[in-house]
Amino acid sequence: MYDLILRRARLVDDTIIDIAIQDGKIAALGDITGAAREERLLSGDYYLSAGWIDSHVHCYPNSPIYHDQPDSVGIATGVTTVVDAGSTGADDIDDFYQLTRQVETEVYALLNISRVGLIAQNELADMANIDPAAVRDAISRHPDFIVGLKARMSSSVIGDNGLKPLERAKAMQQAHDNLPLMVHIGNTPPEIDDIAPLLEAGDIITHCYNGKPNRILTPDGTLRASITDALKRGVRLDVGHGSASFSFEVAQRAIALGIVPHTISSDIYCRNRINGPVRSLAHVMSKFLAIGLSLPQVIDCVTRHAAQGLRLGHKGVIAAGADADFTVFALRRQPVLFTDSDQHSLAAELQLLPLAAVRAGKWFTTEQGSAEHAFDL
């Protein structure tokens, strides 16, 4: 007997299937005749995808600057896995890890290369805080929790250190099996044209569509040669919307040039969740539908591609043996006005509304699903 069967789930290619779950894993797919302790009949009414992965959030509740509750940015909004992007360094990763054992959302961490994490805006201004031994020890304590490193390379963070923090991050990365390295691009210095050549296959540029002068586009709207070269080497682009790092103008122009993101992430924390412009991962995903990406493209950016980029080999796909993580959602036609980080607006007609999530085989109705009584018996 299975633990749970999802009956007549509609995939994003409009295929209708049953999914059987056992011990937190996908046990069978197709027309399933067996019995289960629990069944959910979706009747093809809603879409179902692999569980959404938000690969750039800030959800360490004890962070003094950017903080939130993992379940508020996760399960409550249909996101089954979140990756905290550098809120904690080696000094507080243990506390963060313990807190995440008490939540329903699956949480991973990108370790801030500064041991103090985000206790202030300038965590990389003192090179003494970039301690390879502390990073080594943190990774050894939490090898399954820490899935990569995070370096914020903008002027307010690095002080007078130029490229030195990134150079040290690359050395630490190479000492630890080339863990994924996410690099925040913000205000100069340093210039993006100086950062990009240091990045290698698998490294991640986040805030890839920021509207600041230090953007991936030249002033005349072409892609910078340094970014063209980086993409050829296998560098990945992550959205990382955030409060100040997403421009409709840049995204629309870049996508028109064929520069689509590898991953769509929110850079969410309590303030931009409650007050906007982020709101939720679904809200950010909906903006990319408005820009012109297809539903399968958008879903790939928060499932398969996100899992690949962070080496979460058991997630991001609907296949036998994979984690039984799913997001159930509606694609609803209703007028909506989206806002980017530069206070520019875009009118649209489609919204993604997450109604339920399944995490390790356990069903959760989201805030939206509860408000709509979507699954009331």
Tell me the per-residue pLDDT of 68-89, one tens digit each, with 9 for 90 and over: 999 999 999 999 999 999 999 9
Task: Give the mean model confidence (pLDDT) for residues 213-219.
Answer: 98
Give the model's pLDDT for residue 213. Answer: 97
Domain topology for 2-49+320-372: Urease, subunit C; domain 1 (2.30.40)
- Residue 376's pLDDT band, with cuts at 50, 70 and 90, is confident
Task: Give 136's contacts (C-beta < 8 A, 6+ positions apart).
Answer: 172, 175, 176
Give the model's pLDDT for residue 98. Answer: 98
- Residue 209's pLDDT band, with cuts at 50, 70 and 90, is very high
Tell me the per-residue pLDDT of 257-311, one tens digit each, with 9 for 90 and over: 999 999 999 999 999 999 999 999 999 999 999 999 999 999 999 999 999 999 9
Domain topology for 51-309: TIM Barrel (3.20.20)
Q: Name which of 224, 217, 227, 165 is nearest 190 in CA terms.
A: 165
Which DSSP helix (H) or strand (E) runs through 357? Answer: strand 345-359
Question: Which whole-number Å values give the CA distances from 34 to 24, 29, 38, 358, in the listed order?
Answer: 17, 11, 12, 20
Give the model's pLDDT for residue 377. Answer: 61
Per-chain mean pLDDT for the chain:
98
Residues of the chain with CATH 2.30.40.10: 2-49+320-372
pTM: 0.98
Q: How crowded is residue 201: how many other Cβ atoms within 10 Å of its Cβ?
A: 11
Give the model's pLDDT for residue 168. Answer: 98
The helix-helix angle for 164-175 and 132-141 (nearest 10°) equals 40
Tell me the per-residue pLDDT of 165-198, one tens digit each, with 9 for 90 and over: 999 999 999 999 999 999 999 999 999 999 999 9
> Which region, left, alpha or beta, applies to residue 138 given φ > 0 means left and ψ of -120 to 50 means alpha?
alpha
Residues of the chain with CATH 3.20.20.140: 51-309
* pLDDT cut 90: percent of the chain above it: 99
